[in-house]
């Protein structure tokens, strides 16, 4: 089934907060509530965060958020860049290809550089999270050899 990215609204935020990952995945991703708080902070301090609910038909199945991070806001990467920030698929919908579709759609949007000029999109992952590493590689991300707070950094040219 093809997925669709939709804005977070008053009508769907409750469903977003009800999404859960499988046991053991909690350490790999921040909560969706934390993600919305992070988006608010970013948007009010010089960056831009773009959160989406992931839908398969009429059912919310996940969450993804990317950001535009001017170097003046966050100098982690040494350049203005896009950042694949948060991503999760609900435990009842994993293994159906929804994650790969959602990230591919986000990357298509990022390639249009809708929030500012940049040469790269970055992401990070926990070293133990091999499935997400493989998905990111499949979509064109490459290891940088660097880490941030114990997470490995990946980058792709956009």
1-14 mean pLDDT: 96
Contact (CB, 8 A) for 66 and 85: yes
CA angle 78, 83, 86 (to 5 degrees): 140
144-155 mean pLDDT: 95
User: Which tokens in the block code for residue 143?
Assistant: 């290891």
pTM: 0.92
74-91 mean pLDDT: 93
Per-residue pLDDT at 28: 75
């Amino acid at each position: 089934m093809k997925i669709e990215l939709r804005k977070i609204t008053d009508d769907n935020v409750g469903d977003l907060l009800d999404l859960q990952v499988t046991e053991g995945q909690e350490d790999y991703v921040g909560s969706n509530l934390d993600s919305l708080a992070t988006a608010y902070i970013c948007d009010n301090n010089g960056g831009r965060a773009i959160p989406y609910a992931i839908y398969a038909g009429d059912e919310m199945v996940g969450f993804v958020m990317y950001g535009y991070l001017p170097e003046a806001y966050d100098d982690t990467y040494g350049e203005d860049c896009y950042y694949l920030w948060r991503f999760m698929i609900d435990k009842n919908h994993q293994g159906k290809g929804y994650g790969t579709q959602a990230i591919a759609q986000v990357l298509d949007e990022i390639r249009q550089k809708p929030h500012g000029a940049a040469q790269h999109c970055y992401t990070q992952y926990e070293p133990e999270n091999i499935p997400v590493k493989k998905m990111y590689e499949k979509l064109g991300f490459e290891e940088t050899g660097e880490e941030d707070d114990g997470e490995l950094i990946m980058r792709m040219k956009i």
